[in-house]
Amino acid sequence: MQQYFNQLAAFLDSRMQGSEQCKCWFAAEATDFVRFNRSAIRQAGHVRQIMLTLHLIDGLRHAHSRLALAGHMAADCELLEGMVQKLREQLPDLPEDPHLLIASEIRSTEHIVASQLPPSTAMVDEVLAAAAGFDLVGILASGPVYRGFANTLGQRNWHQTASFNLDWSLYQSGDKAVKTSYAGFEWDGSEFRARFQRALWQLALLARAPVTVPPGAYRAYLTPTALNEIVGMFNWDGFSEKALRTKHSSLRRLRDEGLQFHPAVTLIEHTAAGLAPGFQGDGFIKPERVTLLEGGRLVGSMISPRSAMEYGIAANGADGDETMASLELAAGDLPLSRVLEELDTGIYVSNLWYLNFSDRASCRLTGMTRFATFWVENGEIKAPLNVMRFDESLFRLLGDNLIGLTRERALLIDGDTYNERRTASARVPGALVKDFTFVS
């Protein structure tokens, strides 16, 4: 695949005329998909996909287009020839872009991690064996992903790795289910079985009669999965340098008013430890890590080349949307084994969904509990909790109301497969909080 990409890049270089230059982004995968329903295989297939985004640049004018390739050089070069011509015809009618910043320093890289994955059939066999006698629904996506960047200056960047993501739910009855995921770069059967057994423990608890508690503020434990849904909302322009400067960021008060989160909150974009490539779509190299929150204080932001050009500052490897792709929240000192004891009486939240901002300026979120959320008394799970809506400011939740973060963290790989498999990931602990506000 890498050789094929380099050949495409060389062909595009040869099609440039006069002062033209180009850059291209290459995204490909070879993925086995297996969908489960009622603990049986309902759909299985393999997707081999190659997408290329081409930017044609002449001075400060540029245009781009994206197309699917077949993986056959002669046919693909014919498609690219037509694409270049169409973009060339558009350029004279386009305005100059004052914020265009081109990666003029040639920094070629190569990151290839050999696949450690077993055949998908072996993983499927383990899933089916564990699920026998239960109602399991889920999807397994497994295989290599490829990313590449090239420009007419001769820069070549290549990223190749392989991962799996198994996302499944065990249904007890009606809408009562336990949702679990297992993702990584190496499949460990014992780890999968341990996660499955924990899901079965929660499934048994769901058989108890559900309870409803009145709206109010409760002590709560958020699993890494639930906490990831919350901190993932920071990618809605939270750390974007552009959004911070234009006052659209939900975190702008951290910069403008000096607000702080709890001192235990340290968050970094840790590219070196994630699944995403170490370069972005414009060819700029990402630092191994960018610290965004340190000891609760805002100390950094995601700065794209366009923002760097507009505001006269240095870019730090962010893509155009200025979001995190390899989020890492520092661990705390609360042992996972003591979570229920420390929670004492309150709500154990396994999953959240339908999150949105109810007041962006106050970094206030609303959302709903989902799956295996439990009412806990005196450190013991008593009953499943009916679905509830929360409405809470993260300045409180991750501020004075944060009691502690767990020592253990979970690696969560983005399971989104719309259009293509994502390379985003997060490493997040669980969080124990007080006065978590439920409104219904």
The DSSP-derived string for 189-243 is: HHHHHHHHHHHHHHHHHHTSPPB---SEEEEEEE-HHHHHHHHGGGGTTTSBHHH
171 and 229: one domain? no
288 and 165: one domain? no
Residue 211 domain-assigned? no
Residue 169 domain-assigned? yes
pLDDT at 176: 85
pLDDT digits over 259-270, tens only?
Answer: 999 999 999 999
Are 34 and 170 in contact by the 8 Å Cβ rule? The answer is no
Mean pLDDT of the chain: 94
Cα separation, 312 vs 83, in Å, equals 33
324 and 409: one domain? yes
Cα separation, 415 vs 144, in Å, equals 14
At residue 357, the 3 state secondary structure works out as strand
pLDDT digits over 42-76, tens only?
Answer: 999 999 999 999 999 999 999 999 999 999 999 99
109 and 185: one domain? yes
For residue 345, pLDDT beyond 80? yes
pLDDT tier, 281 (very low <50, low <70, confident <90, very high otherwise): very high
Residue 114 domain-assigned? yes
* Final residue belonging to a domain, choices 206, 238, 269: 206
92 and 184: one domain? yes
* Final residue belonging to a domain, choices 206, 227, 259: 206
| Rounded (10°) angle between helices 120-131 and 189-206 | 30
Largest pairwise CA distance in the chain: 75
pLDDT tier, 341 (very low <50, low <70, confident <90, very high otherwise): very high
pLDDT at 175: 77
pLDDT tier, 417 (very low <50, low <70, confident <90, very high otherwise): confident
pLDDT digits over 75-100, tens only?
Answer: 999 999 999 999 999 999 999 999 99
pLDDT digits over 289-313, tens only?
Answer: 999 999 999 999 999 999 999 999 9
For the segment 112-121, the average pLDDT, to the nearest whole number, is: 92
Residue 220 domain-assigned? yes
Are 326 and 400 in contact by the 8 Å Cβ rule? The answer is no
Give the CATH number of the domain where residue 107 resides: 3.30.2290.10
What pTM, to 2 d.p., does this model score?
0.91
101 and 197: one domain? yes
102 and 150: one domain? yes
Are 53 and 420 in contact by the 8 Å Cβ rule? The answer is no
pLDDT tier, 420 (very low <50, low <70, confident <90, very high otherwise): confident
Q: What sign does the CA torsion over 267, 224, 240, 245 have?
A: negative
177 and 282: one domain? no
In the chain, the percentage of residues whose pLDDT exceeds 90 is 92
Residue 280 domain-assigned? yes
pLDDT tier, 174 (very low <50, low <70, confident <90, very high otherwise): confident
Structure tokens that stand for 279 in this block: 């370069």
* Domain ranges, residue 424: 216-438
CA 220 vs. chain centroid, Å, equals 24
pLDDT digits over 189-214, tens only?
Answer: 999 999 999 999 999 999 999 999 99
pLDDT digits over 214-230, tens only?
Answer: 999 999 999 999 999 99
At residue 246, the 3 state secondary structure works out as coil
For the segment 277-289, the average pLDDT, to the nearest whole number, is: 94
Residue 20 domain-assigned? yes
Structure tokens that stand for 113 in this block: 């991690």
* Final residue belonging to a domain, choices 140, 173, 206: 206
pLDDT at 371: 86
Strands (E) in 185-253, as ranges, are: 216-222
For residue 415, pLDDT beyond 90? no
261 and 170: one domain? no
Are 21 and 151 in contact by the 8 Å Cβ rule? The answer is yes
Q: What is the tally of structural domains in the chain?
A: 2
Q: What sign does the CA torsion over 422, 424, 430, 434 have?
A: negative
Residue 137 domain-assigned? yes
pLDDT tier, 184 (very low <50, low <70, confident <90, very high otherwise): confident
Residue 326 domain-assigned? yes
| Rounded (10°) angle between helices 2-14 and 73-90 | 40
How many Å is the Cα radius of gyration of the chain?
Answer: 24
171 and 226: one domain? no
At residue 80, the 3 state secondary structure works out as helix
pLDDT tier, 172 (very low <50, low <70, confident <90, very high otherwise): confident
295 and 326: one domain? yes
319 and 386: one domain? yes
What is the DSSP code string of 86-119?
HHHHHGGGSPP-TT-----S---EEEE----PPP
